[in-house]
Structure 1
Amino acid sequence: MKKSFKKILLIGTGGTITAKMVDGAWKPGEINEDELMNFIPEIQQLASIKTLNLFKIDSVGMQPKYWVKIAETIKSNYKLFDGFVIIHGSDTMHYTASALSFLIQKLTKPVILTGAMVPPQEIGTDAKRNVIDSLRVATESRIHEVVIVFNGKIMRGNRTKKFRELEFDAYHSIGMSPLGLIEQSIRYTGEHYNSNQETETSTQMPLFFDKMEIEVCIQKITPGYNPEIIPKLIEIGYKGIITEGFGSGNIPIYENSLIDEIKSATQKGVPIIVCSQCAVGFSWMMIYEAGKKAMMAGSIPGYDMISETALTKLMWILGNFPKATIQEITDLFLTDVAGEISEIKNPEYKRVWE
């Protein structure tokens, strides 16, 4: 073992990359991380790797309390390792990456999530490439934030969305280019990334948080959406609601108007966030009457934050600042915490990035 090898903790949570065929269907969690390393023996040339099997689940079973557990695991091992690679299922990887970007802030080391669309024992698997790429980013780059590494791309965790269910190119970076591409060398795209490496004498630790409010949901507004759903959600205990409005964040204001429900929720201290339901879209609520009236009623525009990120950010805010007023929640929600939202609040300055 080379003395210069960096120490990487490989944290397993399950997903397709750990799946075996059971009763005619792929069952995640059947391969542990030590077995996974046997499929990719060359990774021993990249780093000194220790494995930790935290969960063995299909990622559809991921829960907010598991995000906190992953963050706590990184916290307890932070001074022992140079970087962290999290093996994860693809269905909810972007939720976990986004949540971790709020639970662990001001990182001085890389936290990387990866997985596979095809199990490692199958011909044509992408597991080998994704794991090797992740370890290369962990050991070769100076990116110190939560990222997803998949299909040769390095993407900010809270700016990434799953677009395809089976293809290798499953994830796309939204509102910005990927941070980099992994080829013969790591090529950076020019996007700003956090790089805050510790010195040998530094004792700097990231900011760790340990709470997520689970009573937050996403509601996709549709033609004919019943406004009574909003007060019913509050009645059963929801403390925050993300709505996906039409187009640039437009909400019904005539028949089936949501304006009264937004006002009532806001008065009760329940924040209503309005994002766009467009696959690639931003919430510019001041453009149209429908958006402007919803905003004036008290809803909070999501601007260029994707709805999954808005969900995890609001869960983080409500969990860790339970006494915050609506205005304080609004101010914090619209503050860039981990690169999840830009300063652009006008579509005239929307970036050309695709």
Structure 2
Amino acid sequence: MKKILLIATGGTIASRPTAEGGLAPAITSDELLAFVPELADLGRIDAIQLYHLDSTSIGPAQWQGIAAAVRQNYDRYDGFVITHGTDTMAYTAAALSYMIQDSRKPVVLTGSQKSIYNRDTDARNNLWRAVFYACSPQAWGVQIVFDNSVILGTRARKTRTKSFNAFSSIDYPETAIFRDRRLIPFLPRPLGSRPVRFYDKLDPAVFVLRLVPGMRADIIPLLEGRYHALVLESFGVGGLPGGDDGPLFAAVRDWCAAGHLAVFTTQVPHEGSDLAVYEVGRAAKALPGVVEARDMTPEAVIAKLMWALGQSQTREQAQQLFLTPIQRDIL
């Protein structure tokens, strides 16, 4: 039987009602297993309680903690299941995709829209499917298992706030799907036998600026000295209002001249950016220090920037790492 380590971090799946009427993580990792006794039929499952957090409170420090827990136990287990709140699960999945590379063992994130404490809930099905996938010989890499879908960690987004099918795979096929309790794999394990690589350094000094019509440019100079990379969520395929004559262009030019990275992405959910299409984007694309996210998800852009900056001594090194495709994040 496969040996699986359950790493519990909190989230809705592990929440109970509070005296004030809300929900807060309180159910332990061992209690999660007890709610789904049929998991014992799938393999030997051990559990650790890493955090008791709502996922809105999970960020780079917790990503490092989760990656360290996997690393410390990597040789002892055949796979890992991480229970996690849904709101930032896609960020964590992306971050772990960069911090745990070329893993032949599955690192699976799951959670739920309703607590496992409730009678009618998606939690028990999601947890069962996550462990089933982790025990499968077709399993590999960092994945999200949610509802009936298995989604690559770098391609996942939360696209619904309440429905059970909360996550979508953006511009890329699902790794596998479940039909009832039968797993149907679509994407095979990658070829090759590179050893797993773990990373522990992140630089969270990344600022995301969503452009809106009429936005002033004076916010960008305020970021100097506080952030090392700027993500610009632009319109359509990308560009800056006013083109190379506008104040936004001048602010981005000065930001890059100070040695920082500026990453252009799009507010549109699908198909990515392409600064070369319009004149308002072409001048920005030519600036040293400007890179394009292309078809990366916003979660992957942010997590990869933090990872790339953490491994680099220069902007050029960070830029090269950011533009290197990892686990299908750039197509």
- Shorter-chain TM-score category? over 0.9
- Structure-2 separation of matches of 1:15 and 1:293: 44
- Structure-2 separation of matches of 1:234 and 1:95: 25
Say which SS state the counterpart of residue 35 (structure 1) adopts.
Answer: helix
Residue of structure 2 aligned with 1:268, choices 258, 269, 272: 258
Amino acid corresponding to residue 188 of structure 1 in structure 2:
P
Matches within 5 A, 1:73-222: 73-183=69-179, 184-189=181-186, 191=187, 193-194=189-190, 205-222=195-212
Say which SS state the counterpart of residue 28 (structure 1) adopts.
Answer: strand
- Structure-1 separation of matches of 2:152 and 2:171: 11
Shift in Å, 1:259:
1.3
**Which position in structure 1 is the counterpart of 2:294?**
303
CA contact (8 A) 1:179 1:193 kept: no
Change (3 A) 1:72 1:213: same
Q: Deviations over 1:58-89 (max 9, x none)?
A: 00000201101111111110000000000000
**Which position in structure 2 is the counterpart of 1:332?**
321
Change (3 A) 1:186 1:164: same
**Which position in structure 2 is the counterpart of 1:232?**
222
CA contact (8 A) 2:311 2:318 kept: no
Amino acid corresponding to residue 242 of structure 2 in structure 1:
I
RMSD (Å) for aligned C-alpha atoms: 1.6
Say which SS state the counterpart of residue 221 (structure 2) adopts.
Answer: helix
**Which position in structure 2 is the counterpart of 1:253?**
242
Uncovered stretches (5+) of structure 1, i.e. residues with no partner? 198-203, 343-354
CA contact (8 A) 1:17 1:28 kept: no
Amino acid corresponding to residue 254 of structure 2 in structure 1:
S
Say which SS state the counterpart of residue 31 (structure 1) adopts.
Answer: coil
Say which SS state the counterpart of residue 224 (structure 2) adopts.
Answer: helix
Amino acid corresponding to residue 156 of structure 1 in structure 2:
L
**Which position in structure 2 is the counterpart of 1:348?**
none
**Which position in structure 2 is the counterpart of 1:39?**
35
Change (3 A) 1:324 1:83: same
- Structure-1 separation of matches of 2:157 and 2:105: 23
**Which position in structure 1 is the counterpart of 2:304?**
313
Segment of structure 1 superposing worse, 40-49 or 217-226:
217-226
Say which SS state the counterpart of residue 292 (structure 1) adopts.
Answer: helix
Segment of structure 1 superposing worse, 331-340 or 73-82:
331-340
- Structure-2 separation of matches of 1:207 and 1:65: 19
Say which SS state the counterpart of residue 25 (structure 2) adopts.
Answer: coil
**Which position in structure 1 is the counterpart of 2:233?**
244
TM-score by length of 2: 0.95
- Structure-2 separation of matches of 1:124 and 1:256: 55
Shift in Å, 1:325:
3.0
Shift in Å, 1:192:
5.5
Amino acid corresponding to residue 230 of structure 1 in structure 2:
I
CA contact (8 A) 1:259 1:294 kept: yes
TM-score by length of 1: 0.89
Say which SS state the counterpart of residue 233 (structure 2) adopts.
Answer: strand
Amino acid corresponding to residue 309 of structure 1 in structure 2:
A
CA contact (8 A) 1:164 1:171 kept: yes
Give aligned-pair identity as a percent.
33
Confirm whether residue 341 of structure 1 aligns to residue 314 of structure 2: no
Say which SS state the counterpart of residue 11 (structure 1) adopts.
Answer: strand
CA contact (8 A) 2:103 2:141 kept: yes
Shift in Å, 1:53:
0.2
- Structure-1 separation of matches of 2:188 and 2:247: 41
Residue of structure 2 aligned with 1:284, choices 274, 280, 285: 274
CA contact (8 A) 1:147 1:156 kept: yes
- Structure-2 separation of matches of 1:73 and 1:196: 25
Q: Deviations over 1:291-326 (max 9, x none)?
A: 1121123421111111221111010011121x1233
Uncovered stretches (5+) of structure 2, i.e. residues with no partner? none
**Which position in structure 1 is the counterpart of 2:51?**
55
Amino acid corresponding to residue 79 of structure 1 in structure 2:
D
Shift in Å, 1:118:
0.3
- Structure-2 separation of matches of 1:155 and 1:93: 12
Change (3 A) 1:192 1:265: farther
- Structure-2 separation of matches of 1:149 and 1:294: 38
Shift in Å, 1:250:
2.2
Shift in Å, 1:205:
4.6
Change (3 A) 1:118 1:216: same
Say which SS state the counterpart of residue 13 (structure 1) adopts.
Answer: strand
